[in-house]
Amino acid sequence: MLLAALTEPVAETVRFGQVNLILAGLVLVDLLVLMPRRSRAAGLLLAVAICVKLTPAIFLLVPLVSREWRTLARTAVASAVLTVVPALVMPASWLDFWTRAVWSPERVGGVEFLSNQSVKGAVWRAAGPGGFPVVTALLVVAVVLVTLLAVRRAGDRDALGTVLIVALCGLLVSPISWIHHWVWTLPLMLWLVAPGRAGRSRRQPVLVGLGVAWLVATTTRVMWLAPSGGGREYSASLAAKFLSDAYAVLGLASLVAVSAVLVAGPGRNTPAHRVLTPDAAGASSR
């Protein structure tokens, strides 16, 4: 708990009164506890997270690729209900959000600001105002494709690794990913240093190295040694620009490393309830 409090994303979440930790908890309980148990509540907590903040919608990839159609259906219905209800209570604000605000990520702050550790933010800081849209688009597509491949390959063999890689994907491809959004680095660090997972043996030094790098980056605030604010990010030196992209760079490296572990595993597992016939299932239980 002390280590968690010392990490910058968690500390910033608390300082700004954000809900990132709560949303991460909802997602983890839904995808790691309820969905594997085929609970009738599976998908409802994810729906709540999506309706509080749109970014958790990226986690729909997990039930989608896993073909958990009932979970997807419950999430869709619950999300629709929770989205429509505010329209009945405050229609003007609801209409303004869905017709204007949701399409303008810049409203929450400058894309180039150092705290924005998304791919788009990194490209803007490297290339200047507006960045290189083509480069941003290619990086986003690459991140999504790698994520889809890893999630498809992993199946339900490494549920936490699957959720973490989807979280990294969402943080990297979102136009704005402030440092306090990166609370997923905490379970990611634990996953990176944990031994004994399939496909990890040859990569263990790299994974542990990434875990240590994340620990340094999230506890020392070293990134803030780079110029920030008022557009100073644009005129920073090459070394400072690299430092200012610490989370984004480590995020991309972690995406590749986690994907390599998930893809290198023994293959997609098929849950027993989808393989056994009722007679076979009954026989196996006797």
Contact between residue 261 and residue 197 where contact means Cβ atoms under 8 Å apart: yes
Residue-wise pLDDT for 94-139, tens only, equals 787 777 776 665 566 689 999 999 999 999 999 999 889 999 999 9
Q: What is the pLDDT of residue 277?
A: 38
Residue 281 placed within a domain: no
Q: Which residues contact 60 (CB under 8 A, 6 or more apart)?
A: 46, 50, 72, 75
Looking at the DSSP bridge assignments, the partners of residue 178 are 116
pLDDT of 280 strictly over 50: no
The residue whose two tokens read 């629709």 is 80
Pairwise CA distance, residues 173 & 85, whole Å: 29
- Give residue 47's domain range: 2-273
pLDDT of 272 strictly over 50: no
Which of 184, 235, 181, 231 minimizes the C-alpha distance to 25? Answer: 184
DSSP notation for the chain: -HHHHHSHHHHHHHHTT--HHHHHHHHHHIIIIITTTT-TTTTHHHHHHHHH-SGGGGGGHHHHHTT-HHHHHHHHHHHHHHHHHHHHH-HHHHHHHHHTGGG-GGGGS-TTSTTB-SHHHHHHHHH-TT--HHHHHHHHHHHHHHHHHHHHHHTTSSHHHHHHHHHHHHHHHSS--BGGGGGGHHHHHHHHH----TT-GGGHHHHHHHHHHHHHHHHH-GGGGS--STTGGGG--HHHHHHHTHHHHHHHHHHHHHHHHHHTSS-----HHHHS-HHHHHHHH-
Number of independent structural domains in the chain: 1
By the 10 Å C-beta count (0-12 exposed, 13-18 middle, 19+ buried), 149 is classed as middle
The residue whose two tokens read 């209409």 is 95
Contact between residue 38 and residue 273 where contact means Cβ atoms under 8 Å apart: yes
Q: What is the pLDDT of residue 201?
A: 66
Judged by average pLDDT, the poorest of 33-37, 49-53, 195-199, 251-255 is 195-199
Pairwise CA distance, residues 102 & 42, whole Å: 27
- The residue among 278 and 135 whose pLDDT is bigger is 135
Residue 283 placed within a domain: no
Residue 285 placed within a domain: no
pLDDT of 217 strictly over 50: yes
Q: In the predicted model, what is the mean pLDDT of residues 75-98?
A: 85
Read off the pTM.
Answer: 0.87
